[in-house]
Amino acid sequence: MRLKTIAANWKMNNDEKETTDLLSELLIHIPSGAQKIILAPSFVHLNTALQATYNSAIEVAAQNMHHKVSGAYTGEVSIKMLKSIGVQNVILGHSERRTLFNETDDVIFEKVKLALEFGIKVIFCFGESLEERESNNHFKTIEKQLSKLLDLSTNDWEKIYLAYEPVWAIGTGKTASPEQAQEMHAYIRKILADKYGEELSEDVSILYGGSVKPNNAKELFSQPDVDGGLIGGASLVVGDFLDIVNAV
């Protein structure tokens, strides 16, 4: 049985005090047990988040990492650094990394392999642009973005969350309808089933991301193949995020 997962991607928001305040509010109010909660602050605040969530079921994710373990890469953060402070998850392949920082499927896959090698769970993001959807190429895009991951072993998949985030829905207030989300999630699960078999495909959590808000979360999460969400803007507002967590 897949546990519903709600992950907060705080992106490049909040200073130290805002992060601490948000963490303490969430820790007081998040109910324990029914869902898996993952919080992704900036690199600067990972330690603060790890300390705040120590002894709780809440996990922490980094929002990115470099594709090499170490070296002369000024300004970058490596998986070894993340591992050494106890980070449990890393978000990879986010559309903002793909479009604003030119990350290719190849580089993202290098990162995925490295994270898995270090035993860190991966939240792998992918999704089509508006143009791709309108030209009816969204399934093809998704297949391409997912294709390298199909080289991974069965064991690797125990450490992967998929996060379908249609680019046209990110930060736009335009959410995929529950039917659109379900259709794509079922398609993704079928790709996994065809490659690895039904059992593995039923075990992989597929999250939806893109303008999830308190007023649409319940309907999205009640779709059979939507196993929770990756939340951007609404995860910065305590009340909204708690409503989304409680919509599961």
What positions carry a catalytic annotation? 94, 165
The number of beta carbons lying within 10 Å of the beta carbon of residue 26 is 22
Is 230 an interacting residue with respect to ligand 13P (CB under 6 A)? yes
Distances (CA, A) of 70 to 161, 181, 191: 25, 38, 34
Is 90 an interacting residue with respect to ligand 13P (CB under 6 A)? no
- Residue 57 in contact with residue 32, Cβ under 8 Å? yes
Eight-class DSSP state of 224: T
Cα–Cα distance measured from residue 103 to residue 114, given in angstroms and rounded to the nearest whole number: 16
Candidate residues 191, 231, 244, 247; the one interacting with ligand 13P per rule CB under 6 A: 231
- Residue 108 in contact with residue 93, Cβ under 8 Å? yes
Cα–Cα distance measured from residue 209 to residue 125, given in angstroms and rounded to the nearest whole number: 9
CB of 71 to ligand 13P, least distance (A): 28
Pick the piece of the chain touching ligand 13P (CB under 6 A) from 82-90, 182-190, 194-202, 204-212. Answer: 204-212
- Residue 78 in contact with residue 65, Cβ under 8 Å? yes
Pick the piece of the chain touching ligand 13P (CB under 6 A) from 14-22, 76-84, 146-154, 228-236. Answer: 228-236
CB of 65 to ligand 13P, least distance (A): 16
Is 212 an interacting residue with respect to ligand 13P (CB under 6 A)? yes
CB of 157 to ligand 13P, least distance (A): 21
Candidate residues 4, 6, 9, 121; the one interacting with ligand 13P per rule CB under 6 A: 9
Q: Which residues lie near ligand 13P (CB under 6 A)?
A: 9, 94, 165, 170-171, 209-212, 230-234
